[in-house]
Amino acid sequence: MHNQNRTHLKVDSLPHIVVTPPGPKSQQLHHRASQYMKGYSSQVRLFPVAFASGKGYTLTDVDGNTYIDFSSGIYVTGCGHCHPKITEAIQKQVATVVNCHDFTTEIKVKLLEKLVEILPGDLSGIQFYSDGTAAVEAGLRAGRAATGNSEFVSFWRDFHGKTLGAVSLAVMSEDKGMRASGFFLAPRPDCYRCPFKMSYPDCGIYCADFLEQVIEQESTGRVAAVVMEPIQGWAGSIFPPPEFIPKVRELCDRRGILLILDEILTGMGRTGTWFACEHYDVVPDIIIIGKGLGNGYPVTAVAIREERKDVLEKISASSSYGGNPVACAAALATIEVMEEENLLEKSAHLGEFILLKLEEMMERHPIIGDVRGKGCLFGVELVKNRDSKEPFDEAGKLVYQKAFRKGLAWIPAGHILRMSPPFMMPEEVAAKGIDILEEAIDETERELL
């Protein structure tokens, strides 16, 4: 068993801010990088800090500031930064063999067998990739090959990656260009901002019924799959009503359409279970996993149900780096750490603790319109007015920057604050993170209201 408290600092001295961040070294490095590096996320643009190291639930920047990590990279390092067992497994494999195309290695066999154990239902046809979007594309190709149909239906404000098929599953903007043909979008349930202006549960889950209308009105009737994030991450940690995904499953079964769940963000313990679909008692036909799978090492996968698994042969699913031995070593060690350190349970418990704190905080702050969470995945929605629910983007930016300056490394952009701490963060550290958040909200309210 490895030491859980993997930071060189004592819990009560966290965070440790020695120079107001982003400090001079961060700024200088970021200036040098940004002459060439283009396409930063809005988070980096809002707070251009340069990190030097990560340990457990902390990140340290080049100026020597140590932050409490409320982002896990970007929903990636659920087991904590540089977990010793995962680091050791990667180091050992790097010194053994790094790439041998998609030939079999023992480490890959072990990972495949382990994954089949933790995947829901009979999802047992697997292929590996190095980023999420490539696994999503493989899922789409597999969906087409398995059904002989070519169209897809996905949902408003889902995010699935940045390659053409993945982008075509999401809302368009001028800079992204045209959606590929055969892709249709349906309104997505969001009970805080229902697109149909209805209220749960009186709505009777109308959004699920409307999905059927989208299929009938938009497609040619040759829909291969409905593709969705079980819980929307990028859109702001938006949870569907409990009946929604089972209803979509039933619709898909009735119409001979596959259900593809993109669990890149929600999988691997993020919501307190291996996969978020377990909360809804639904097994998809195809699942996509990534992010937490290698605890930061790039490894992603597509998995398809037993009866259809040969379809991955049909689409020649392999790639240059997918399933390389180092990636497999990282993923196998990650799953073992999750099991050995009871991290599913810890994710669920820490999640309950933080959610309660957020709910209490909401009572004290008029700009908080909604708080929600499951496991270690949270959203806090900032509004100008609780009745109008008008999004408060300026507040979102200010809270983000203020909290970061005080020592909270985290994710938001826009009016929804998103948080995803590593699962083994002690409650007292999480409570400090929440206190920092509240101080930042307090100051922002005094400035903007």
Ligand X SMILES: Cc1ncc(COP(=O)(O)O)c(C=O)c1O
Burial grade of 177 (CB within 10 A; 0-12, 13-18, 19 or more): exposed
Residues near ligand X (CB under 6 A), total: 14
Which strands form 408-409's sheet, in the order they lie side by side?
Answer: 51-55, 58-61, 66-69, 408-409
Start-to-end C-alpha separation, the chain? 50
CA distance linking residue 89 with residue 114, whole number of Å:
16
DSSP annotation of 227: E
368 SS3 class: strand
Q: Report the nearest approach of ligand X to the CB of residue 74 (Å).
A: 6
Q: Shortest approach of ligand X to residue 286 CB, angstroms?
A: 13
Q: Does 234 bind ligand X (CB under 6 A)?
A: yes
How far apart are CB 29 and ligand X at their closest, in Å? 23
Q: Does 264 engage in binding with ligand X (CB under 6 A)?
A: yes
Q: Which stretch binds ligand X (CB under 6 A): 44-52, 260-268, 329-337, 371-379?
A: 260-268
CB of 444 to ligand X, least distance (A): 26
Binding mask 274-303 for ligand X (x = CB under 6 A): ----------------x-------------
Find all residues with CB under 8 Å of 166, minimum gap 6, and list them. 133, 136, 137, 160
C-alpha Rg value of the chain to the nearest Å? 22
Region of 14-22, 41-49, 156-164, 420-428 interacting with ligand X (CB under 6 A): 156-164
Which tokens in the block code for residue 292? 């937490």
137 binds ligand X per the rule CB under 6 A? no
Among 6, 108, 160, 402, binds ligand X (CB under 6 A): 160
Rounded least distance, CB 44 to ligand X, Å: 15
Interface with ligand X, residue 233, by CB under 6 A: yes
Residue selected from 86, 89, 136, 343 as contacting ligand X according to rule CB under 6 A: 136
Whole-number Å distance between alpha carbons of 203 and 194: 10
In whole angstroms, how close is the CB of 344 to ligand X at the nearest point?
20
Cβ proximity to ligand X: between 286 and 383 the closer is 286
CB of 204 to ligand X, least distance (A): 28
Alpha helices for 54-163 (secondary structure H): 72-75, 84-94, 106-118, 132-147
Instruction: At 252, list the tokens.
Output: 């898909």
Comparing CB distances to ligand X, the nearer of 47 and 234 is 234
- Backbone dihedral region for residue 364 (phi beyond 0: left; psi -120 to 50: alpha; all else: beta): alpha
Among 265, 287, 299, 343, binds ligand X (CB under 6 A): 265
Q: Of these, 128, 159, 183, 423, which contacts ligand X (CB under 6 A)?
A: 159
133 touching ligand X, by CB under 6 A: yes
* DSSP-assigned letter for residue 307: G
**Cβ 146 to ligand X shortest distance, Å:** 20
Applying CB under 6 A, which part among 125-133, 137-145, 279-287, 426-434 lies near ligand X? 125-133
Q: Using the rule CB under 6 A, is 129 a contact of ligand X?
A: no
Minimal distance, residue 152 CB to ligand X, in Å: 14
If binding is defined by CB under 6 A, does position 262 make contact with ligand X?
Answer: yes
238/398 with CB nearer ligand X: 238
Residue 415 Cα distances to 39, 228, 259, 390, angstroms: 21, 23, 31, 10
120-128, 130-138, 238-246, 433-441 -> range binding ligand X (CB under 6 A): 130-138
Kindly state whether residue 434 participates in binding ligand X, applying the rule CB under 6 A. no
Of 227, 222, 130, whose CA–CA distance to 170 is shortest? 227
CA dihedral 76, 79, 80, 84 (to 10 degrees): -120
- CA-to-CA distance for 264 and 332, rounded, in angstroms? 17
Least distance between ligand X and beta carbon 160 (Å): 5
Region binding ligand X by CB under 6 A among candidate stretches 127-135, 181-189, 398-406, 436-444: 127-135
Indicate the residue whose CB is closest to ligand X.
132
Backbone angle region of 295, left / alpha / beta, with phi > 0 → left and psi within -120 to 50 → alpha:
left
Least Cβ distance, residue 154 to ligand X (angstroms): 11
**What are residue 148's phi and psi, to 5 degrees?**
75, 0
Residues 1-60 touching ligand X, rule: CB under 6 A, are none
Three-class SS string for 233-264? CCCCCECCCCCHHHHHHHHHHHHCCEEEEECC
Q: Which stretch binds ligand X (CB under 6 A): 5-13, 132-140, 219-227, 343-351?
A: 132-140
DSSP alpha helices (H): ranges in 148-257?
164-168, 206-218, 244-255
69-108 binders of ligand X (CB under 6 A)? none
Q: Which residues bind ligand X (CB under 6 A)?
A: 131-133, 136, 159-161, 229, 233-234, 262, 264-265, 290
